Amino acid sequence: MQPTRHPGSEPPGTRGRRRLSPTPRPGPAGREELETEEEARNGAAAPLAALLLLLLLLLGLLRRPDPADRPPPGRRLPAIYLRSSPSRFPRFPAEEYTSISNLSLPLKFDWRDKHVITQVRNQKTCGGCWAFSVVGAVESVCAIKGQPLEVLSVQQVIDCSYSNYGCNGGSPLNALYWLNKLQVKLVRDSEYPFQAQNGLCRYFSDSHSGSSIKGYSAYDFSGQEDKMAKALLALGPLIVVVDAMSWQDYLGGIIQHHCSSGESNHAVLVTGFDKTGSIPYWIVRNSWGTSWGIDGYVRVKMGGNICGIADSVSAVFV
């Protein structure tokens, strides 16, 4: 981003420049002495400037690229592009939802066993993970509340959520705010199918059938993943943002390393957990198709906030 220039500000390179002498020396000899002194100063400063430039270039080359700074990759790999800048919507500590603590926690639970999870989808090269995770949560919570399990339109969210960037990235919280504030009805995917690119928003009449939400909440469960598991039981599948840079090579097993918290770049849906083995893990639905991972799912170790999975957790109410 270019620095802001204010009217009347000094041109670049002139601000703070000091003269070598408070008054010019009279006569040609004085000017000659001044020029000699300035040349000496410039000659001494040149190596320092070159060294500083070299250090800046090295830092720029060695800096780990941020996926939120570039468009989705054109190659045939899953697009990771969340544009995860700090949200203006606050996250609340786990204690805010007191009824979560009253639940007893089983060793294993998966909402797929309740038949309230739709099939894994493929976002292709569209950076719409934020929309896939939100729509997946709405589909499941509607089914948990007794409505028919339907595949809802992700493309509607990509095209119409005005506070996001479509296939160029977005925020799950921005999408939830949009759904809740405008009481948007999500139509079926068959009525507004996924195109893997941005399009013009299609509007439907108020009488058109669709699924809407009554509210949402966002929490920070870092250091409190048992409470996060209880929230999963009480509220339904949870939307989370994670560091998924290493996930593109995932073939199976439980992710325990090679990702960090505070580096969120991908949004996914947590559908369950399993604590029966030696390594407890979250069951996470991705949006990279069924050929990726374990039929489109990934297992992430519970505890330790692996990949930042507990940093920003959202739930939907219908």
266 is catalytic: yes
Sign of CA pseudo-dihedral 89, 94, 96, 100: positive
Distance CA 238, CA 228 (A): 9
C-alpha triplet 227, 239, 176: angle, nearest 5°: 120
Q: Which two tokens stand for residue 132?
A: 């896939």
**Tokens 């705010």 -> residue:** 177
Residue 163: other Cβ atoms inside 10 A: 13
307 is catalytic: no
Q: Which two tokens stand for residue 28?
A: 């040609």
User: Among the residues of the chain, which ranges form H helices?
Assistant: 27-62, 129-144, 154-160, 172-182, 225-235
**129, 142, 160, 167: the active-site residue:** 129
**164, 265, 286, 305: the active-site residue:** 286
Are 300 and 284 a contacting pair, CB within 8 Å?
yes
257 is catalytic: no
**142, 164, 266, 305: the active-site residue:** 266
Q: Which two tokens stand for residue 173?
A: 């919280």
Distance CA 12, CA 192 (A): 51
* Catalytic sites, residue numbers: 129, 266, 286
